[in-house]
Amino acid sequence: MSRTPLSRRHFLGGVGLTGMASLLAACGGESPPPGGGGGGDAGTLRWWDHLGGLQTLHDDWAVSEGERLGITIEHTYNEPGKATEALQLANQSNQLPDVYSPVIGLPLPALVEAGWVQEITISDEVMARLPENTFVEGLSMLDGVIYGLPAFTDKQYVACTWYNAEIAEAVGFEPPTSYDEFLAALRAIADHGEYAPMTIALGAVGRMREQIDDLAQAGGFPGFTGLRFDTGEYEYHHDAYVNAIELYKEISDNGWLLPGTNGFQIPDARGRWAAGGIGFHIDGPYSPGAVRSLNAEMLPNMAVAGMLTPDGEDIVATKGARGGDWVLGGTSEIADLASQLIETFTQDDYQTALAAGMDQPPLNLDVVADADVIEPYAWLVEDFRARVFRAPQPQVRNVDVAQVQARQAPVAPELGNVIQGYLGGQITDLRAELTKLSDSYSAALDEAIAAATAEGAAVSRADWEFPDWQRGVDYTY
């Protein structure tokens, strides 16, 4: 199991914040300080995002807010798989958009120092209507200066069990909550013979990682992304991870996946399911918005059973506070107007429209009840509100942790690759491979800590330990 710097989307492992600007420039050209060129001119504001289910909303919002601000707003959607490259190329030509959704995958201090973002001005009126603890030091602000606006809630999980209600009625199964109930429903669909039991984006490494991380946590893993909250140790080989991956393995081995699923990326799997004729599709809360854009006739047949747990016990999920979903481009020369556009994302009418887009749930969950959404989406949001708790985050307790994160080399192969290899038969001893994965991540973290402390960072493995963390309780520092 090797650690390979400069691979995947998180392409900046093994360097400090001081070296970040030069390495970012090497990947994407010079990054002058704010005011040094790029961004929109006095009559045009450029706004980019990668949120597929919100294209129509954002196109319309760009027109209406452009008229109000007296400026032309050009909204551009980039597919998630191409968004990082698009930003790199824009930076290379000093043309970062004025407002964008950050997908670079770097900690906030690195983005600030490298010149990719600049301060957002938020009025007192806007601050007053935001939920408590919206801005978190080290994630969306530094030294009290705001650099990112969360637009979506941190109360969500992405391994949602979506199913076709018409098929459920025809075949005769109830919404599954346990692994055994899920397998029984898939078997019933297969035995019925008219429909394909299931499809998922098995070819998308990142999506498989996200789903198994969520399922493992719901299955009892006391942490997230392989890292225990209480001890600060990596434990991908925990029973909860093994059980979740074995669930996918049994589904695959039984032939219950739509032919071709092994290579499906997110649009492939979602598009096939949206066309009808497939029982289940595990996807995030953003599935209805995307399905509507693919086949609106499928919406009345969408149903959701929450997230599976091994024995059908109540879901408990734990997620960290969000960073900025929107940032202000570091080269923008119209920062005031860009800040005003970002502020509009906090308005009730935008948040309600965001809910109606049925993508990720909005920052203000209260608006969902009055939004034009399908009932399963509204139910899911209430499930998030009741069952998702705030996790401890080391960079919130100690901002020097960001210096470690900037140096931490990506691990390859990662969890998604292990899942694919095990389902495909290339990996035969799952727990042994997951143990190697834990060791590789632990070694990468230790190396990054050593490098950061050598340059003066006050940080140690103890910063990742939260022995007072309790499952099912919001963590407070």
> Which tokens is 328 given?
């202000």
Report the C-alpha gap between 417 and 395 in whole angstroms: 27
Residue 450 is which amino acid?
A
Average pLDDT per block of 10 residues along the chain, 477 residues long = 31 38 39 42 86 88 96 94 91 93 87 94 94 90 95 95 98 97 98 98 96 98 98 98 98 97 95 97 95 95 98 96 95 97 96 92 94 97 96 94 91 97 97 98 98 97 98 94
pLDDT confidence of residue 428: 97
Report the C-alpha gap between 347 and 149 in whole angstroms: 13
Q: In DSSP terms, which residues pair with 148 in a beta bridge?
A: 327
> Which tokens is 345 given?
């994302």
Report the C-alpha gap between 306 and 473 in whole angstroms: 20
pLDDT confidence of residue 255: 98
> Would you say 423 and 262 are in contact if contact means Cβ atoms under 8 Å apart?
yes
Name the architecture of domain 160-314: 3-Layer(aba) Sandwich (3.40)
pLDDT confidence of residue 40: 53
pLDDT confidence of residue 39: 55
pLDDT confidence of residue 42: 57
H or E, element range at 336: helix 335-344
3-state helix, strand, coil split of the chain in percent (to 5) is 45, 15, 40
Domain ranges for the chain: 31-150+322-390, 160-314
Nearest to 46 by CA among 69, 87, 76, 70: 76
Class for domain 31-150+322-390, per CATH? alpha beta
Q: Answer whether 31-150+322-390 and 160-314 agree in fold.
A: yes
